[in-house]
Copies of this chain bind each other. A is one copy, B any other.
Amino acid sequence: MTAHNHTEQIPSAEQLLLSRGVKPTPQRVVIAEYLLQTESHPTADEVLSAVAQALPVALSRATVYNTLNTLKEAGVIKEVLTEPGRVRYDANITHHHHFVDVKTGKIVDIPSDKVEAIGKLLGDQYKVHGFQVLFYGEVESG
């Protein structure tokens, strides 16, 4: 039950970009909208093909990369490293972790509070600024 009624509480992608100091060009808005509504942790290429589809505007590969980097630097999205050779993106910028379903390859967000305790497990010779957990396993379909 996530918020997608008609009385739209979610800030528009455009407002989000503005609030982060990123000029909301049509390309950027479309990419941000796509990332905000998917849970698929897409690569740059996946963003391009998904967005090239229902396309209200032309979009080049270079712009996808530019935009992803701009959004990342502005804190609108995060990089996710799960496999060698490609970067995935996630519009969930809350501190959280990932679970890779080894059967389907699906990547599921795991909220931070589930694994919060981790930050305290290392001795005090380590100052932990943050951490990132990548789980591998299977998610119950039900």
Contact = CB atoms under 8 A, between A and B. Distances in A.
A3 interface: no
A110 interface: yes
B133 A138 contact: no
Contacts of A84: 79, 81, 87
A99 B81 CA distance: 16
Interface of A: 79, 81-85, 87, 99, 102, 110, 114-115, 117-118, 121-140, 142
Contacts of A127: 137-140
A127 B102 CA distance: 10
A140 B134 CA distance: 25
A135 B121 CA distance: 11
A126 B99 contact: yes
Contacts of A81: 81-84
B137 A125 contact: no
Nearest to A134: B132
Contacts of A99: 122, 126
Contacts of A126: 99, 135, 137-140
A78 to B, nearest CB: 12
A32 to B, nearest CB: 20
